[in-house]
Amino acid sequence: MPLPEENYITVIAETYRLLGDPTRLKVLLTCLEGPIAVGDIAKATGASQSLVSHHLRLLRAARLVRGTRRNKQVFYEAADDHIANMLTDMLDHAMEEHDGGEDDEA
């Protein structure tokens, strides 16, 4: 696979930088199951509503989540299947059994 253009590399690096914060990652993972309100995200992650709102602003700016207003509440969900699939694949990878042997050569 040829390397993508530099601007795409930057977007990918910034995305992974954003996901490097454990609380922010939990917020995004909570949004994978479908539309969820900020208060419910806060309960699920154990973070304050103000901290969750801050993380959601950053995730929304990075196009990782989208919000839909219903009456006075905003419900958040993963922006698209690409985000959900990437996170699901990373979780599967993290939970794989590791044989503890030597690393394979590149």
- 22: tokens are 């454990």
pTM > 0.75: yes
- The amino acid present at 103, given as its one-letter code, is D
Q: What is the mean pLDDT of residues 25-40?
A: 96
pLDDT digits (tens, 9 = 90+) for 55-95: 999 999 999 999 999 999 999 999 999 999 999 999 999 99
Please report the pLDDT score of residue 102 as a whole number: 58
**Contact status, residue 22 vs residue 47, Cβ threshold 8 Å:** no
Please report the pLDDT score of residue 60 as a whole number: 97
For residue 106, pLDDT over 60 is answered with no
DSSP string, 6-40: HHHHHHHHHHHHHTTSHHHHHHHHHGGGS-EEHHH
Q: How many angstroms separate the CA atoms of 100 and 40, rounded? A: 38
